[in-house]
Amino acid sequence: MASSTITTGGRHYFLLVAFSLLSSAAYGQLSQEYYASNCPSLDQIIKAEVDRTLFTDQPPAGGRRMGASLLRLFFHDCFVQGCDASVLLDDDLTKLIVSEKKAAPNDKSLRGFDVINRIKGEVEKACPAVVSCADILALVAKQAVISLGGQGWPLLLGRRDSTTASMVQASTDLPSPNSDLPTLIAAFDKKKLTAREMVALSGAHSIGLAQCANADKTTQQQRCSNANSNSLLPLDVQTPEGFDNLYYGNLPNKGLLHSDRVLTDRADLRDLVRQYASNQTLFFVDFASAMKKMSEMSLLTGANGEIRLNCTRVNYN
Binding residues for heme b are 205
* Four-point Cα dihedral 52, 157, 101, 233, nearest 10: -50
Rounded distance between C-alpha atoms, residue 197 and residue 214, angstroms: 23
- SS3 for 18-83, per residue? HHHHHHHHHHCCCECCCCCCCCCCHHHHHHHHHHHHHHCCCCCCCCCHHHHHHHHHHHHHHCCCCC
Binding residues for Ca(2+) are 77, 80, 82, 84, 86, 100, 236, 239, 244
Binding residues are 77, 80, 82, 84, 86, 100, 175, 205, 236, 239, 244
Q: Contact, 223 vs 144, CB < 8 A?
A: no
Nearest to 235 by CA among 67, 101, 115: 67
Residue 97's DSSP bridge partners are 92
Rounded distance between C-alpha atoms, residue 188 and residue 202, angstroms: 11
Q: Is residue 12 annotated as part of the catalytic site, yes or no?
A: no
Rounded distance between C-alpha atoms, residue 130 and residue 23, angstroms: 19
Give the H/E segment covering residue 216: none
> Choosing from 64, 76, 101, 111, which is the catalytic residue?
76
Binding residues for substrate are 175
Give the H/E segment covering residue 209: strand 209-211
3-state SS, residue 284: helix
Active site residues: 76
